[in-house]
């Protein structure tokens, strides 16, 4: 997830490697959240508002892992997470078809 400028934007990286200091890495969350649900959760207004309340900096807003780790998120069963992801993706398909 980006931690400065356009902070709070999640990205899924399916590669091993290093990151620079403009990113935060979430690891070992996949025992609790599915990858797709975590992406949509971190992309939500609910998450963004929590991040906005935690950022620091006058000109360039920044998050750090301590600030992000203080955020509260719902804990749902894997089945519920998969249902939500499926519904969201169906909505996105319908929206795309309208354009």
Host domain of residue 70: 1-99
As a whole number of angstroms, the longest Cα–Cα distance in the chain is 42
pLDDT value of position 4: 67
Residues 6+ apart with CB under 8 A from 13: none
Say if CB 3 and CB 63 are below 8 A apart: yes
Place of tokens 């590669």: 15
Alpha-carbon separation of residue 66 from 16, 50, 91 (angstroms): 23, 13, 34
Average pLDDT over residues 48-60: 78
Percent over 70 (pLDDT), the chain: 84
Number of domains in the chain: 1
Question: Among the listed ranges 23-27, 42-46, 91-95, which one has the minimum average pLDDT value?
Answer: 23-27
Average pLDDT over residues 11-23: 72
Confidence of residue 80 (pLDDT cuts 50, 70, 90): very high
What predicted TM-score, i.e. pTM, was given to this entire model?
A: 0.76
**SS3 (DSSP) at 95:** helix
């Amino acid at each position: 997830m980006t931690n400065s400028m356009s902070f709070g934007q999640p990205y899924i990286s399916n590669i091993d490697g290093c990151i620079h200091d403009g990113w935060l890495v979430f690891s070992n969350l996949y025992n609790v959240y599915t990858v797709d649900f975590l992406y949509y959760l971190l992309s939500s207004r609910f998450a963004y508002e929590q991040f906005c309340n935690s950022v620091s900096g006058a000109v360039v807003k920044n998050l750090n892992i301590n600030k992000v780790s203080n955020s509260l998120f719902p804990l749902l069963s894997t089945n519920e997470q998969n249902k939500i992801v499926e519904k969201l993706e169906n909505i996105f398909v319908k929206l795309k078809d309208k354009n």
